[in-house]
Amino acid sequence: MTAIYWIALKSIWSKEINRFARIWIQTLMPPVMTMTLYFIIFGNLIGPRVGEIQGFHYMQFIVPGLIMMSVMTNSYANVASSFFSAKFQRNIEELLVAPVPTHIIIAGFVGGGTARGLCVGILVTLVSLLFVPLHVHNWIIIATTLLCTAILFSLGGLLNAVFARTFDDISLAPTFVLTPLIYLGGVFYTLTVLPTFWQDVSKINPIIYMISGFRFGFLGIQDVPLVFTFIVLLAFIMLFYLILWHLIEHGYGLRT
């Protein structure tokens, strides 16, 4: 990467990080408060009635899923809103006419979304320590799964923003696609409680693999083999990146 491209990448990163850091009360605190309520309601109030799952208290079981859920939604939302705002205000055209390659534009916006997702994930992890002790099976798997998931959902948010034509379009995918997939992705339960048929159906949901891999990093238990977690993550990252590169390179939804 040449010096001028590195400067361009750092500039986009700085803009994106400053964007959510400047209004941290709106971007970082709401998901932390929401996850705290999940800990209280599902962990403290409902958890004792559920009992243990695969040898762990229910609160311990849901913590990795809730952390991952907060990372997914915030990585997605940050890039979707930021890129669409740039489209709406027409300042995305400055990037398109500048001598900045498409992959730098993608990396810049995705880097900002990833940073917000990781910040929220760390904050939610710290809050979880108020309810349960930290249990770590493998730090490398935790870090790798978390980073890849944040990148993937940042790419997803960017893809949503490219296709969106109004601000209402930004909320359609999270409401009707992302939220159902997350709640059916094993955040609050293990696949073993489902009948065999529904276990097989659930494995169509890619989020099952991400949450399973992340939970393995914490607790050492998994619903699907760990290798499938990384295959799914890398496959979707490559797919979303190639689609985005093609769309942005040809100005789809941008040069209108």
Write the DSSP string, 165-188. Answer: -SHHHHHHHIIIIIHHHHHTTTSS
**Range of lowest pLDDT (8-22, 69-83, 132-146, 165-179):** 165-179
**256 has pLDDT over 70:** no
> Can you list the pairs that 120-126 forms with residues at least 24 positions away whose Cβ atoms lie under 8 Å?
120/28, 120/31, 120/32, 120/70, 120/71, 120/74, 121/67, 121/68, 121/70, 121/71, 121/146, 121/150, 123/28, 123/31, 123/32, 124/31, 124/32, 124/35, 124/66, 124/67, 124/70, 125/67
**124 has pLDDT over 90:** yes
For the chain, what are the domain ranges?
54-249
**39-55 pLDDT, tens per residue?**
888 777 777 777 788 88
Q: Which amino acid is at 90?
A: R
**147-195 pLDDT, tens per residue?**
999 999 999 999 999 988 888 888 888 888 898 999 999 898 889 888 8
The answer to whether the CB of 82 falls within 8 A of the CB of 111 is no
What would the mean pLDDT of 233-242 be, rounded to a whole number? 97
What would the mean pLDDT of 91-109 be, rounded to a whole number? 85
Q: What is the DSSP letter of 204?
A: T
Model's pTM, two decimal places?
Answer: 0.93
